[in-house]
Chains A and B, each alone.
Chain A
């Protein structure tokens, strides 16, 4: 079966660093995405990993280990506006480029 696991909720303090983990078991792998979703809004694209290693984009970084079926999203210098749900999604093998979505991690950033 296809499964993606990520923590349901996390809290952190403004200015700190937080790591949101995502583990997956899927039929094939063709890339992993992180999306950010503020309450009542649509998901917006944050990062994409298809090869092992770290991708850095400003305050956000995403890491992938394909052999371990593991990724994390690292948020540095947290701001209040980073309070949102963070969705991990894996593209499985196949012609239709299907995405399997996790349930999301709700991050609360406190002052």
Chain B
């Protein structure tokens, strides 16, 4: 099966500019996650979707970050305006809704550098 697709792989912007990341999960996976991973740290959940509904966005800085999954398939994460501390890798992951392990499959990530 095809994996989780993300784009762009790399993005360099100046602070106060905006950026958008796109994710297409594995076909049939109902749950989609956006994580922020700063160098040397574990992933931090920004938002979790179940189909097109938000399950958890408690750690999303809502004054500057937004995300949508309008048709319950692909998703977009936007940052506006960007700050220096937003420099990180933004990982998208998806999982099926089955019981058991419910393993997350990650995309390759989008590396953001804010200057």
Contact = CB atoms under 8 A, between A and B. Distances in A.
Given A42-B91, A96-B55, A101 B44 contact: yes
Contacts of B31: 97
A88 to B, nearest CB: 8
Given A41-B108, A42-B108, A99-B104, A104 B41 contact: yes
A7 interface: no
Contacts, number: 48
Contacts of B102: 91, 97
A37 to B, nearest CB: 9
Nearest to A30: B102
Interface stretch (A11-19, A43-51, A59-67, A70-78): A43-51
A101 B103 contact: no
Nearest to A97: B102
A95 B87 CA distance: 31
Contact of A96 (B44, B56, B101): B56
Interface of A: 31, 33, 41-45, 48, 50, 87, 89, 91, 96-99, 101-104, 106
Contacts of B40: 103-104, 106
B45 A99 contact: yes
B48 A104 contact: no
B113 to A, nearest CB: 14
Task: Give the most central of A97, A102, A103, A106: most B CB within 10 Å.
Answer: A97
